[in-house]
Amino acid sequence: MKFPIFASVIVFCIWLIYEIRKHNKKDKKILDSFWNKENQANNTRAKSLDGLNYIEIPESVYAALPTPLPLELEDCSKLLQHLKQNKIVNLSHITNTDLKLKYGASNLDTLSAYDQNYISLLRVLQTLSDYHYEKGNIHTARELLEFAVSIQSDNIGTYKMLARIYCDNGEESKLDYLISAASLLPGLTQKPILRFLKSLRTEYTDPEESILDILD
């Protein structure tokens, strides 16, 4: 009885060694492919950035800064002044390697700055939306949130608040618009946002409670 067990152990060890070697070869190919692509990207010459999808901030966003300016919105004001003088592009769905391949390695710092401006803009829009919603300025909050969605914000809070505004205003049909917009998001937040929105579409419940579905 001991021989079959011993033979089985030997067979298992041989199989295990084979699998380890197979995965090591596969990992090496992936790593080699990555470095080949990275080397190619680092040697790509600079190309024109004219074709980028630049984001223009509408005047309604600047107008959303109240006068006098509250202390909690001072950072938003400073960021908006910075963004007004700089270019904004959503590049969050493109890796640095692909950016270098497409636009040239020497443009990477510039492109990274554009993308950081986009991230800053989303933060400003959410902060301003939160402020105006709490103050009861629903129309202003709605405008800010709709602009954020139009430039592909992947902030769950943006969709949560805008969905609440639509539902409270008897516009549940607009949840379909939010679902369509969220379905185009390339990031990891797409699925939880969609799950949250779809949970509201069939029967409106309190978004504060429904958001817990995201954590399941």
53 and 37, same domain (yes or no):
no
Tokens of 197: 């929105």
CB 189 within 8 A of CB 154: yes
Amino acid letter for position 83:
L
Per-residue confidence at 60, pLDDT binned at 50, 70, 90? very high
State residue 92's pLDDT score: 85
State residue 30's pLDDT score: 65
Per-residue confidence at 214, pLDDT binned at 50, 70, 90? very low
38 and 82, same domain (yes or no):
no
153 and 93, same domain (yes or no):
yes
State residue 194's pLDDT score: 95
State residue 212's pLDDT score: 42
State residue 34's pLDDT score: 61
DSSP 8-state code for residue 74? H
14 and 116, same domain (yes or no):
no
61 and 32, same domain (yes or no):
no
9 and 55, same domain (yes or no):
no
State residue 43's pLDDT score: 76
90 and 107, same domain (yes or no):
yes
What's the pLDDT tens digit per position in 183-200?
Answer: 999 888 899 999 999 998
39 and 52, same domain (yes or no):
no
Is pTM beyond 0.85? Reply is no
Q: What percent of the chain has pLDDT over 70?
A: 78
* Number of domains the chain contains: 2
Q: 3-class DSSP state for residue 153?
A: coil
* Total Cβ atoms within 10 A of residue 80: 20
Q: Indicate if the pLDDT at residue 213 is higher than 50.
A: no
What's the pLDDT tens digit per position in 101-152?
Answer: 999 999 999 999 999 999 999 999 999 999 999 999 999 999 999 999 999 9
Closest CA to 122 of 151, 93, 102: 151
7 and 54, same domain (yes or no):
no
Q: Indicate if the pLDDT at residue 13 is higher than 60.
A: yes
36 and 65, same domain (yes or no):
no
55 and 31, same domain (yes or no):
no
Three-state helix/strand/coil letters over 11-72: HHHHHHHHHHHHHHHHHHHHHHHHHHHHHHHHCCCCCCCCCCCCCCCCHHHHHCCCCCCCHH
106 and 5, same domain (yes or no):
no
Tokens of 168: 């409270």
Mean pLDDT of 22-49: 72
Range of the domain at 6: 1-43
